[in-house]
């Protein structure tokens, strides 16, 4: 088998949007940025239909692909956590006429993106700076990102190769760290029973926090969207401002816990749709304080970088990196 001359189709599939692009896997920068397109997942009955529409729209051919999906990949099948699509790798490959198709977790793609990120693609949150590793230097990274849900993953670099960690860490139980957060947990438990980190740290999670803060203040805020909460916070609404503060603090605590769990001493990358929108809040909140506040490990945590990813298409970048990595050792590849 030799590396194909046609580009690979890469995709980043979330609970709301499906993003597609082409990748030239033989290039050092494989993602072809001018081919990126985005569609609403609700507009298509299946991932295969969305992918075929993309190829028809841009008038391109591809013979293989890497699709990153916001859900657990179980063998030949993947389920989108926050959307009813059930994806069969074999059926989708047949529908598109692909000889090879890989399904990976969306945060495996976010993790792989780290291998291609440049310092200009990230913004430092806190006092610890990121120094990218030299070629061949071992590195352990974590990645966490709130969007429609909460994605969690990691990247291990060894001997010049990338090993992404696919996890569902967003669904671990929420650990409150203050009396206020204990009360928020009690309020959310009445609605959800078990409360995971994703119930707080994602777009709908910000709404959940705001509703709990309002309940503690003695009133019902009504039905709001995440953008409503952030808009009210900018207007000086005290409950909305408090909700954003709690969101950032809890996000920092969870990101710090992730570093401890994964041994990701080389940095944690903050990604997902909410991070660029909330960057100023993250930089001027309790995020970093709670990130570092880890008892006997606080001094070590103060040296671990936390980096907001500002690359517009990090998921596609990571899928392209994954596609290139697969083909490195094929005859005719670049390894």
- DSSP letter assigned to residue 128: P
Q: Which two tokens mark 150?
A: 């909460």
Distance of alpha carbon 171 from alpha carbon 200, whole angstroms? 11
pLDDT for res 74: 86
3-class secondary structure, 12:
strand
pLDDT class of 330 with cuts at 50, 70, 90: low
pLDDT digits (tens, 9 = 90+) for 216-252: 999 999 999 999 999 999 999 999 999 999 999 999 9
The first and second tokens of residue 23, run together, are 């990748």
| H or E segment to which residue 156 belongs | strand 150-158
Per-residue pLDDT at 272: 86
pLDDT digits (tens, 9 = 90+) for 275-320: 999 999 999 999 999 999 999 999 999 999 999 999 999 999 999 9
Residue 332 confidence (pLDDT) above 70:
no
Residue scoring higher pLDDT (272 or 183): 183
Is a pLDDT exceeding 70 seen at residue 331?
A: no
Q: What DSSP string runs through 295-311?
A: GGGHHHHTTS-EEEE--
Tell me the pLDDT band of 85, cut-offs 50, 70 and 90: confident
Phi, psi of 274 (to 5 degrees): -85, -25
Bridge partners of 100, per DSSP, are 64
Closest by CA to 169, choosing from 234, 228, 119, 110, is 110
Strands of the sheet containing 77-79, edge to edge, are 73-74, 77-79, 86-88
**Based on the number of CB atoms within 10 Å of its own CB, is 184 exposed (0-12), middle (13-18) or buried (19 or more)?**
buried
Cα separation of 101 and 91, whole Å?
A: 10
pLDDT at 4: 53
Q: What is the pLDDT of residues 106-144, one digit of tens each?
A: 889 999 999 999 899 999 999 999 988 888 899 999 999
Of the pLDDT bands very low, low, confident and very high (cuts 50, 70, 90), residue 166 is confident
State residue 334's pLDDT score.
46
pTM of the model: 0.89
Mean pLDDT of the chain: 92
| % of the chain surpassing 90 pLDDT | 80
Q: What is the mean pLDDT of residues 205-214?
A: 98
Q: 174: which DSSP letter?
A: P
Q: Under a CB-based contact definition with an 8 Å cutoff, are residues 62 and 98 in contact?
A: yes
DSSP annotation string for 91-121? HHHHHHT-SEEEEEEHHHHHHHHTTT--GGG
pLDDT of 34-50, one tens digit each?
Answer: 999 999 999 999 999 99
Beta bridge partners of 156: 140, 163
Strand-pair category, 64-69 with 100-105: parallel
pLDDT of residue 58 exceeding 70:
yes
- Of 63-72, 75-84, 150-159, 231-240, the range with the lowest mean pLDDT is 75-84
Q: What is the pLDDT of residue 1?
A: 36
């Amino acid at each position: 088998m030799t590396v194909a001359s046609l580009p690979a189709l890469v995709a980043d599939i979330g609970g709301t949007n499906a993003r597609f692009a082409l990748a030239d896997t033989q290039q050092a920068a494989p993602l072809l940025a001018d081919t990126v397109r985005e569609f609403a997942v609700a507009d298509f009955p299946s991932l295969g239909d969305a992918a075929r529409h993309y190829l028809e729209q841009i008038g391109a051919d591809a013979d293989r692909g890497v699709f990153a999906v916001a859900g657990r990949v179980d063998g030949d099948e993947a389920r989108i956590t926050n959307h009813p699509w059930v994806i069969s790798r074999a059926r989708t490959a047949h529908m598109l006429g692909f000889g090879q198709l890989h399904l990976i977790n969306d945060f495996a793609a976010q993790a792989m993106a780290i291998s291609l990120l440049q310092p200009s693609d990230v913004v430092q949150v806190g006092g610890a700076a990121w120094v990218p590793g030299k070629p061949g230097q071992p590195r352990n990274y974590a990645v966490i990102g709130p969007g429609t849900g909460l994605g969690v993953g990691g990247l291990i670099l060894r001997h010049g190769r990338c090993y992404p960690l696919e996890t569902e860490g967003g669904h671990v139980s929420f650990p409150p760290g203050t009396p206020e957060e204990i009360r928020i947990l009690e309020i959310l438990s009445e609605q959800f029973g078990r409360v995971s980190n994703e119930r707080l740290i994602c777009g709908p999670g910000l709404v959940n926090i705001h509703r709990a803060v309002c309940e503690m203040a003695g009133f019902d805020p009504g039905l709001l969207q995440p953008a409503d909460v952030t808009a009210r916070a900018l207007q000086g609404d005290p409950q909305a401002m408090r909700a954003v503060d709690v969101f950032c603090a809890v996000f920092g605590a969870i990101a710090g816990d992730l570093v401890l769990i994964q041994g990701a001493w080389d940095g944690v990358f903050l990604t997902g749709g909410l991070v660029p929108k909330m960057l100023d809040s993250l930089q001027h909140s309790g995020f970093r304080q709670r990130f570092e506040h880890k008892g006997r490990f606080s001094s070590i945590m103060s040296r671990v970088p936390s980096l907001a990813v500002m690359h517009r298409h990090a998921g596609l970048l990571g899928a392209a990196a994954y596609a290139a990595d697969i083909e490195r050792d094929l005859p005719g590849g670049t390894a």
